[in-house]
Structure 1
Amino acid sequence: MRTRPYRVVQWATGNVGTRSLRCVIEHPRLQLVGLHVHSEAKAGRDAGELCGLAPVGVQATRSIEDILALKPDCVLYMQQGANFDDICRLLSAGINIVTTRTEFNHPASLDPVLRARVEDACVRGASSIHATGSSPGFITEALPLVLGSLQRRLDMLRISEFANLAPRNSPELLFQVMGFGQAPDPRRDAGRAHHLRQAFAPSLQLVAEALGLGFDSVEASGDVALARRDTRIAAGELKAGTVAAQRATVTGLYRGKPLMRFKATWYCGTDIDADWDLRGDGWHVEVDGDVPLDLAIRFPVTPEQWPRVSPGLTAHRAVNAVPYICAAAPGIRTTVDLPQVVSDLGP
């Protein structure tokens, strides 16, 4: 049994990274030894203060050289966008990585040149990298693999994700970035479908292959529903005839038939011009096979609690995976490669 804590660096402090940082500081088997940030305003500040805790004596840095010099066991890599130069430098130096980036969920889906570069860095550093999170991750990999263990035949796996955005007071995100309250735009719908295909198809493919199946092809689509009347939400007003709900669907086909489907539905109002399933925040998982299953997973939190709770959906599984990736063989390691991730909640 390991007697010393894993020495960990937190890389980036957005919503998820800040939660991860706090979890590392408070974890009984992890030791925060470094913090990498991108903002000049955060550089030099104490890591504890950046996540709402008392000072811990670890100062944030913008220098990868500082991180390499620490020789940590693992980096929790949670920045926007994957910098493969930095990732390969860390791996080549023998530093393991757990990331919430989606590029590494299914190694075969990576650009072959990039994959070879990362794998070579893992070999040179005897290190490994693992991608996880809530969605994709837990809901598209860990849970389906467990449910699949009950089957001897799988006809169809459907995963539906629901997010009621009406209580969220984020006008720029909802109206400008996501396009709620705007006129329908087919280009935006296509872009949303493309984004989900890039993020979720590799994760679903991993599960399909693990079950001895796979995909012949992948389809992706996006559509919207419009508000039937003016609607007031926390971020502002949705005018009648503008976008009030959005869906994006990714489907993997096997032998010409749908085998796995992920559908994300986000909405700011329920009075829409379409007959959609608009249930509360959470997931709905349906398994058609020789052991049919129907699971509803809800997030029973108030709108006021949501900003505090939601970052943990992605951050916690990554933090809990640190011991497993540190013990893994060198390479890009997936949910299929690692043992089941079990949380250490001890004192």
Structure 2
Amino acid sequence: MTEPGRKSSYRVVQWATGNIGSRTLRGAAEHPQLEVVGVLVHSADKSGLDAGELCGLAPLGVHATTEAADVLGLKPDCVLYTPRELDADAVCALLTAGINVVATRTDFHHPGAMDQSLRRRIEAACAEGGSSIHSTGSSPGFVTEALPLVLASVQRRLDGLLIEEFADLSRRPSPGLLFDVMGFGGRHDTFDERRLASLKASFAPSLRVVADALGLPVERSEVHGEFAHALSRTTIAAGVLEAGSVAAQRVTVAWKQGGRDVLRFRATWYCTTELDRSWDLRDTGWRLTVDGDAPLDVTIRFPVAPENAAATYPAYTANRAVNAVPWVVAADPGIRTTADLPHVVSPFAQS
């Protein structure tokens, strides 16, 4: 594991400026050790705009481009990579050019869990360019990797770890996401297998990072999902949930050993507490339960007013990626996991 050197500044480019990307861009611009030197956007209407305009800051004197070649020409130390879809060719081009990558996508959490043809391409690009790539964020990322490793540091026997995520979506005005993608308001009782597979692909590799770091002998991963239904007609910010329709869902991803759950991530997303099932619903946040010789029960709440949620929640994902830049730049070439890096410690600008 390599500590950051004595560089006073790191030149970074923001790749994509959606909900998370605009926040990583802002975080990089305000970070005392990072210098934003470029922005890659995917829409023509953003091309040419000042980076500050794209993230709610005063002009930074850096203008957005839609051309990947422009980014390569800037030769930054690192790219903050936050697009909706993975462009493997672009990532390989960055790494081959010696440009490190910090991604908020889940593609690179654990090398062994990747598509092996993609892994070989990425590792070859890192070797050629002497560069590294790291996936991080809040969940998966901070709560499924960094925090469990810290909690395990006070154990000498670890029998099991449960990471729970709770999200009250009743005030989220996103009907496309809630109704069309997540299936709230539907009449079904079973999860779509493709969605379960996608969630497993997102969280199982992150949990495997912890298992490997702690030497836990896990054998296989599993995923299952379950629904709860509204007891009565309920109006939420995204629309209306009819009585008997899906109003909450719970997904569990587990690594098992000998038929026993060793590491589990359980997400409970709900739009009302008036349900036909008795779930232990909590405020938006996380709970980690450690079963060992020093048992722990840790609850983390997000003390954010509903009217401030949209402006605040992206920070939980974006900030760790921004703070990781110096550590990833200093890392040995290759696909670097949370366990490969030292604790990510960020300096703060003087107010």
TM-score, structure 1 as length reference: 0.97
SS at match of 1:304: helix
Distance 1:98 1:197 in 2: 22
Picking from 121, 130, 146, the partner of 2:150 is: 146
Picking from 256, 266, 283, the partner of 1:263 is: 266
Question: How far 1:344 sits from its partner (Å)?
Answer: 1.2
- 1:114 is the counterpart of 2:118: yes
Question: How far 1:2 sits from its partner (Å)?
Answer: 2.7
Structure 1 counterpart of 2:186? 182
Q: Is the 8 A contact 2:189 2:227 kept in 1?
A: no
Alpha-carbon RMSD across the aligned residues, in angstroms, is 1.1
Structure 2 counterpart of 1:48? 52
Q: Is the 8 A contact 2:29 2:36 kept in 1?
A: yes
- 1:155 is the counterpart of 2:159: yes
Q: Is the 8 A contact 1:129 1:331 kept in 2?
A: yes
Q: Cα deviation per residue 1:197-254 (whole Å; 9 max; x = unaligned)?
A: 1001011111011111132111100110110111111222111010000111111102
SS at match of 2:178: helix
Q: Is the 8 A contact 1:6 1:29 kept in 2?
A: yes
Identity %: 58
Picking from 252, 256, 268, the partner of 1:253 is: 256
Picking from 194, 197, 200, the partner of 1:191 is: 194
Structure 2 counterpart of 1:33? 37
Distance 1:210 1:262 in 2: 17
Q: Cα deviation per residue 1:118-153 (whole Å; 9 max; x = unaligned)?
A: 111001001000111000000000000011111111
Q: Cα deviation per residue 1:254-309 (whole Å; 9 max; x = unaligned)?
A: 23311011000000011111011111100010000111000000001111010111
Q: Is the 8 A contact 2:172 2:238 kept in 1?
A: yes
- 1:334 is the counterpart of 2:337: yes
Question: How far 1:21 sits from its partner (Å)?
Answer: 0.5
Q: Is the 8 A contact 1:163 1:265 kept in 2?
A: yes
Q: Which has the higher contact order (CA 8 A, sep 6+)?
A: 2
Bigger Cα displacement from structure 2, 179-188 vs 35-44: 179-188
Q: Is the 8 A contact 1:100 1:318 kept in 2?
A: yes
- 1:219 is the counterpart of 2:242: no
SS at match of 1:201: helix
Structure 1 counterpart of 2:326? 323
- 1:87 is the counterpart of 2:91: yes
Letter paired with 1:259: V
Distance 1:199 1:3 in 2: 33
Question: How far 1:3 sits from its partner (Å)?
Answer: 4.7
Structure 1 counterpart of 2:309? 306
Q: Cα deviation per residue 1:22-52 (whole Å; 9 max; x = unaligned)?
A: 1111111110000001111111111111111
TM-score, structure 2 as length reference: 0.96
Picking from 65, 68, 75, the partner of 2:69 is: 65
SS at match of 2:221: strand
Q: Cα deviation per residue 1:182-201 (whole Å; 9 max; x = unaligned)?
A: 1115253x333222210010
SS at match of 1:313: helix
Q: Is the 8 A contact 1:205 1:214 kept in 2?
A: no
Distance 1:187 1:136 in 2: 21
Q: Is the 8 A contact 2:191 2:225 kept in 1?
A: no
Distance 1:127 1:334 in 2: 14
SS at match of 1:182: coil
Distance 1:34 1:170 in 2: 31
**Gaps spanning 5+ residues in structure 1: where?**
none
Structure 1 counterpart of 2:246? 243
Q: Is the 8 A contact 1:192 1:248 kept in 2?
A: no
Distance 1:82 1:140 in 2: 22
Question: How far 1:318 sits from its partner (Å)?
Answer: 0.2
